[in-house]
Structure 1
Amino acid sequence: MIEIHNIQKSFSGVKVLNGISGIFESGKTNLLLGASGTGKSVLLQCIVGLIKPDLGSITYDGKVFTNNKLDLKQEIRRKIGMLFQGSALFDSMNVEENVEFPLRMLTPMSKEERRERVEFCLKRVGLENAGKKMPSEISGGMKKRVGIARAIAPNSRYLFCDEPNSGLDPLTAIKIDELIYELTKEYDITTVIVTHDMNSVMEIGDNIMFLHKGNKLWEGGREEIMDTKVPELREFIFASSLMRAAKKVDEELGSLDELSTIQNGREPEGEKPQE
């Protein structure tokens, strides 16, 4: 579990994050939702320690991360896996070598132990036969899977994903969402995902934090987000004609169900209850 409290950050006098607080639970997919420029990626970078917040605190499973000793920060960082927006694979390394990289850098594993772990992770993401391929030889969806395998290779307790569906077709995007969701549940990982994709929200959004102009305006789950009364969130959700049409159909079906319930609750006309 990761807790953040009153995170504030400004650049050149412009406030980007305005006192963001929240809890990201383990075993759940925690989404940071919002339009471009709302502060999602900056908040993510603050949480993982790439950017230092001007104010506020970040805690990993009870251990304070902000303003703590370097050795403790490094201990926490060794448990962090990161899936970058563009996958960020090393072009000069094949798939196996890319997945092995954090094991060589962060663990005392032997060469044989690293090989076994790489094989396990590639099999888990469905790429057991792609280990010798170079990044230039695989598709965008496969690159994302390699990125996920590399992120979980060091037995990461925390997984951060920056726009994991960026540049993918809808079907592949759903498969990547499902894979991240499965791994989160299977290994009880604390997963934080930056996204603006409503498909991801509806598919895997256990906990959702909506940011708008550096402020947290709403927090909840995918079951309740469609009924939000927050104007900025409603505008974001129903920006596309497809989502507006889906909402209209849902409301019409709800009205029909309500009408059916009322009608079924009435006694048939012309009949009287028997004495």
Structure 2
Amino acid sequence: MIEIHNVQKSFDGNAVLKGINCTFETGKCNLLLGGSGTGKSVLLQCIVGLMKPDIGSITFDGTVFTNNKVNIRQEIRRKIGMLFQGSALFDSMTVFENTEFPLKMLTPEMTKEERRDRVEFCLKRVGLENAGNKMPSEISGGMKKRVGIARAIAPNCTYLFCDEPNSGLDPLTSLKIDELIHEITHEYNITTAIITHDMNSVVEIGDHIIFLHKGLKLWDGTKDTILNAEVPELKEFIFSSSLVRAAKRVDEQEGGLESISAEDPMNAH
């Protein structure tokens, strides 16, 4: 579990994060939802230590990360896996070598054979067991995302951060990437945080959703409760998606039928 307490961040007097309080739950896909410029990426960078909050604290499973000793922050960082928006693979390395890279950097105690076994396991887990010798230029965008996921989980991460994992992908591939992240999160009981503005992802894998707007957390809940949220800014955001509007109509229609049936079962036919 990751706990964020009153995190504030400004740039040149412009407040980007205005006292964020939220929790990323273990074993769940925690989605940071919001439009462009709402503070999602800045919050993520503060959480993983790429930026320092002006005010506030961040705690990983009871251990304070912000302003703690260097060795403690480094120990927490070793437990973090990161899936970057553009996959960020090394062009000069094979799929296997890209996946092995964090193991060489973070687990020097592992032998070459242990690294090989771990890489092969991770590539198989993401469905790329036969792609280890390929170069990034030889694989599709969806496969690059899978390599990014394999690389992120290779060091047995406890916390997984994904920055717009569906960026640049077609709808079917996006769905498969969502499903893979969701499966891995639940399978390994990882605390996963996903930056997104994609309502399709929210509907599919939103175990826990945090909505940011203009640097404020305006709402949190689940994919089962978001369609009935009474926050005007959130309603405006989510119903800009035709898929969500359709889902809302179906939900209302089914609710209406259930209501009729409860009053008089004969009226339902």
Give TM class, smaller chain: over 0.9
Say which SS state the counterpart of residue 130 (structure 2) adopts. Answer: coil
Distance 1:204 1:242 in 2: 15
Q: Which residue of 1 aligns with 2:233?
A: 232
Q: Does 1:216 align with 2:212?
A: no
- Residue identity matched to 1:116: D
Q: Does 1:105 align with 2:109?
A: no
**Does the 8 A contact of 2:29 with 2:192 survive in 1?**
yes
Q: Which residue of 1 aligns with 2:146?
A: 145
**Does the 8 A contact of 2:2 with 2:61 survive in 1?**
yes
Once the two structures are superposed, what CA deviation does each residue of 1:162-196 show, in whole Å capped at 9, x if it has no partner? 00011111111111111111111111111000001
- Residue identity matched to 2:54: D
Written as runs of structure 1 = structure 2, the 5 A alignment for 1:14-25 is: 14-25=14-25
Distance 2:149 2:173 in 1: 14
Written as runs of structure 1 = structure 2, the 5 A alignment for 1:29-178 is: 29-107=29-107, 108-178=109-179
Say which SS state the counterpart of residue 264 (structure 2) adopts. Answer: helix
Written as runs of structure 1 = structure 2, the 5 A alignment for 1:243-258 is: 243-258=244-259
Q: Which residue of 2 aligns with 1:269?
A: none
**Does the 8 A contact of 2:199 with 2:244 survive in 1?**
no
- Residue identity matched to 2:91: D
Say which SS state the counterpart of residue 147 (structure 1) adopts. Answer: helix
Say which SS state the counterpart of residue 123 (structure 1) adopts. Answer: helix
Which 4+ residue blocks in structure 1 deviate beyond 3 angstroms? none
Distance 1:48 1:67 in 2: 13
Unaligned runs of 5+ in 2: none
- Residue identity matched to 2:79: K
Q: Which residue of 2 aligns with 1:179?
A: 180
Paired-residue identity, %: 75
How far the C-alpha of 1:265 sits from its partner, in A, is 7.7
Distance 1:252 1:187 in 2: 37
Distance 1:104 1:242, change over 3 A: closer
Once the two structures are superposed, what CA deviation does each residue of 1:25-70 show, in whole Å capped at 9, x if it has no partner? 1111111000111000110000000010000000111111000111
How far the C-alpha of 1:23 sits from its partner, in A, is 1.2
Unaligned runs of 5+ in 1: 267-275
How far the C-alpha of 1:110 sits from its partner, in A, is 1.0
Say which SS state the counterpart of residue 19 (structure 2) adopts. Answer: strand
Q: Which residue of 1 aligns with 2:9?
A: 9
- Superposed CA RMSD: 1.2
Q: Which residue of 2 aligns with 1:271?
A: none
Distance 2:251 2:265 in 1: 21
Aligned residues: 266
Distance 2:89 2:234 in 1: 34
Distance 1:241 1:148, change over 3 A: closer
Q: Does 1:201 align with 2:202?
A: yes
How far the C-alpha of 1:251 sits from its partner, in A, is 1.8
**Which structure has the larger Rg?**
1
How far the C-alpha of 1:202 sits from its partner, in A, is 1.1
**Does the 8 A contact of 2:141 with 2:169 survive in 1?**
yes
Distance 1:56 1:48 in 2: 14
Say which SS state the counterpart of residue 88 (structure 1) adopts. Answer: coil
**Does the 8 A contact of 2:199 with 2:241 survive in 1?**
no
